[in-house]
Amino acid sequence: MFSAYLEVTVNEVTINGKEYLKRKLGYEPWNGQGSFYSYSYERIEGDSIHYILSSTNTDSLSFNFNWPVGTVSYSSSTSNEIFEKRIDSIYVDSYLIPQDTIYLINWYRINLTTGDTISYGDPFYDKYSRKLGPMHSGLGTQLQGAKVDGVRYGDIMPYPEEIVFSEDSLYSEFIGDTINCFLKNTSEYDVVLDSIYTSGIFPYGYLMYLIKDNDYFFINLFNNYPSHPLDTLNYIIPARDSILLQIYDIDLCAICKKQPNEYFEDTLRFVSTFNGSNNYSFYKTIRISGEGHPSDVTDDKDLPSEFVQEQNYPNPFNPSTVINYQLPVASNVSLKVFDVLGNEIATLVNEEKPAGTYNVKFRTQNLQLSSGIYFYRLQAGNFTETKKMILLR
């Protein structure tokens, strides 16, 4: 019974002053992301000599594509026998990739007593591809497909490394920041986003949009979304396409009543499934950290003593800014934005609010606004105050 596995180049690393490709070997993501695999570190010198970093942290020659026919690429011996692998032919073929140079290496056993040389014969031979590397090795390995520079050749199943974030990590530098990041599907298969999780023991709260072709899918994330384990997002990212992930209003303490730390660290986990070929679940994670804002929940003893409308932050801003205000008593609250001519641009709040401290984000992404001065006005009971803010496009 044969099994399929992947060899994936995950990134480049520098070791002993040399650049190596870090490669994940024996990788079977369809058997669970915790399945066994190993790493190798490989490099090509010039365009011909293939080295693998050995356990002694030195280069071990794997293959030289300048070797001519007749070269012995491997040899071992016992007291009366030599085993060797010998390049028997070099030819051009398009088995997987067009106009590839193939090195056929047969296996031989040489009897030192009689001088007889015996060829093992089919299927005991090796094949090396100049463009793809090892293609065949006895009964153990047969290359079925490859992906090179984004192009698939032969038969290769989709794998998690084909789903990538446009950023290595996310950082919220200021309270009220909006964070943008693309989630890219570079495979030839649709991907279904099933759920999203946070990793904190006391999970933070996130408001986010999944944006595709001006379609905004809203998510209120606390611990996991959807909240019911039997529900699924069922959000499709088409093959060779991407979505914009937009995160805002990061709540540092979505359930507590005390002032939380100003700095946070978390990891968001996106659980997905490939459609159309060997469906299996996998996840991708991205680290998020920086400045959030405290929860709107406030202890009675911490209630403000007066009406306050603070200056928006940041200011100037683009594309969004946060407005904080305080209510010493329950009030009917109106918070609106106007242009310099007094035209109403947006209504941010228009409802009764209990006493407490609040923050509201003014977003301009869907508004056709030009750079300039705008005003925001808070009305709460008999309190009215207007402040100026600047939008810079």
User: Do 338 and 384 sit in the same domain of this protein?
Assistant: yes
Report the percentage of the chain scoring pLDDT > 70.
92
Name the more confident of 35 and 205.
205
User: Do 210 and 267 sit in the same domain of this protein?
Assistant: yes
Among 223, 256, 291, which residue terminates a domain? 291
State which H helix or E strand residue 388 sits in.
strand 383-391
For residues 163 and 183, is the Cβ–Cβ distance under 8 A? yes
Name the more confident of 298 and 110.
110
Q: Taking the CB of residue 153, how many other CB atoms lie within 10 A of it? A: 19
How many H-runs (helices) and E-runs (strands) does the chain carry? 0, 32
The per-residue pLDDT for range 194-235, each reduced to its tens digit, is 999 998 666 688 899 999 988 999 999 988 999 887 788 999
Asked if residue 167 has pLDDT above 70, the reply is: yes
Q: Which of 186, 181, 178 lies closest to 196 in space, CA to CA?
A: 181
Among 291, 317, 336, which residue terminates a domain? 291
User: Do 269 and 343 sit in the same domain of this protein?
Assistant: no
Among 122, 154, 186, which residue terminates a domain? 154
Average pLDDT over residues 156-163: 90
Q: How confident is the model at residue 301 (pLDDT cuts 50, 70, 90)?
A: very low
User: Do 5 and 88 sit in the same domain of this protein?
Assistant: no
Q: Token match 């803010």: residue?
A: 389
| 106 contact partners, CB below 8 Å, separation of at least 6 | 85, 86, 88, 119, 120, 125
User: Do 142 and 212 sit in the same domain of this protein?
Assistant: no
Q: Is the pTM of this model over 0.75?
A: no
Q: Token match 């300048």: residue?
A: 66
**Pairing between strand 169-172 and 281-291?**
parallel
Q: What would the two tokens of residue 35 be?
A: 């399945």
User: Do 279 and 333 sit in the same domain of this protein?
Assistant: no
Average pLDDT over residues 56-71: 94
User: Do 37 and 109 sit in the same domain of this protein?
Assistant: no
User: Do 105 and 7 sit in the same domain of this protein?
Assistant: no
User: Do 128 and 206 sit in the same domain of this protein?
Assistant: no
Q: Identify the CATH number of the domain in which residue 266 sits.
A: 2.60.40.10
Domain count, the chain: 4
Provide the domain limits for residue 206. Answer: 160-291
Question: For the chain, how long is the longest CA-to-CA vector?
Answer: 111
